[in-house]
Structure 1
Amino acid sequence: MIKSWMVIGGIAFLVAIASNLLLNPNDIRWFNRLTRPGWLTFETAIPLIWTIVFIGGAWSAILVWEAEPRTPQTWGLMGFYLLLELVILAYTPVMCKMKSLRVGTILGGTGFILGIMLMISVWPISQTAALLLLPFVLWSPIGTYTTWVMIPLNPADA
């Protein structure tokens, strides 16, 4: 029997891989040449931060599914988790394709709002599941703010 963690983790992983396929070397070069704020000294930790965020999100979804499997409400929440992941993962490829830090800021802000909404939505089902979304809810405004601060540093790429 396939376990829920296998399905949820597998879908999260496949969506993440698919979003990376949208990037090409020109997109990555554009992003890497952008000027960053001087206080951004933790950029090498960002992949680890996102790993923690995505593990927390998947684990949260698993707990919600396990609490109330196959109910219409739970299916709706699974769709909400997927929507949040899609918005989060759209940040880099969409911003790089459009070469627009404003687009990145809007996507980051949208993800933050969706993250808060999801956290509130799952709280009555599982407080642990809601708290597992906390790394995203705390990190998202930092990433969004960083992107916003980069706009005046890169006016041609706003």
Structure 2
Amino acid sequence: MIKSWMVIGAITLLVGLGGSLIRPQDAKWFNRLQRPRWLTFERAIPFIWTVIFICGAWSAYIVWQNDPYSAKTWLLMGLYFLLELVTIAYTPVMFLQRSLKVGTIIGGTGAVMSIILALLVLPISLWAFLLLLPYVIWSPIGTYVTWKMIQLNPEAA
């Protein structure tokens, strides 16, 4: 029998792999852009997002276990899925469009969605809510970095 944590984990992993769908020339474009001097943690960002996705999947599992198969739970699973899609879209869409403004919009959308999802989850489980806090905290930071890069690279806006 397939367990719910296996399904949630597999979906998280498969969607997460979509973030690697970038062309080398687009990565070169992004790597040539100037960054804020205080951005000393860029190499840690993939690790940070991995932890955030694990926390999000764990949060979804807790919500699912609370009331499996209910309409409300399915709706929340859809929101978790949509949030991950928006998050994963950030890199390939921004790279393809070569637009930091697009990245800022996608990042901001994810930040707002994470707050909404966290607030919807709070009445169901404090732990599920707490596991979404890394996303709620980090997403605005990433969005701010992208916005700040627009100031340094106006031609890439």
Q: TM-score range by the shorter chain?
A: over 0.9
Matching residue of 1:50: 49
The alpha-carbon deviation at position 20 of structure 1 amounts to 1.8
> What are the residue-to-residue correspondences of 1:28-107 with 2, within 5 Å?
28-107=27-106
Please, which runs of 5 or more residues in structure 1 have no aligned partner?
none
The alpha-carbon deviation at position 108 of structure 1 amounts to 0.6
Runs of 4+ deviating beyond 6 Å:
none
| Number of residues of Structure 1 aligned to a counterpart in Structure 2 | 157
Structure 1 counterpart of 2:153, one-letter code = N
Aligned-residue Cα RMSD (Å) equals: 0.7
The alpha-carbon deviation at position 18 of structure 1 amounts to 2.6
CA deviations on 1:49-101 (whole Å, 9 max, x unpaired) are 11110000000000000011000000000000000000001100110000000
Structure 2 counterpart of 1:57, one-letter code = G
Contact 2:18 2:88 in 1 (8 A): no
Structure 2 CA distance, aligned partners of 1:69 and 1:15? 22
Structure 2 CA distance, aligned partners of 1:52 and 1:19? 15
CA deviations on 1:2-31 (whole Å, 9 max, x unpaired) are 11110000001011113322x110111111
Structure 2 CA distance, aligned partners of 1:60 and 1:107? 22
Structure 2 CA distance, aligned partners of 1:18 and 1:86? 9
The alpha-carbon deviation at position 44 of structure 1 amounts to 1.3
The TM-score normalised by the length of structure 1 is 0.97
Structure 2 CA distance, aligned partners of 1:94 and 1:127? 34
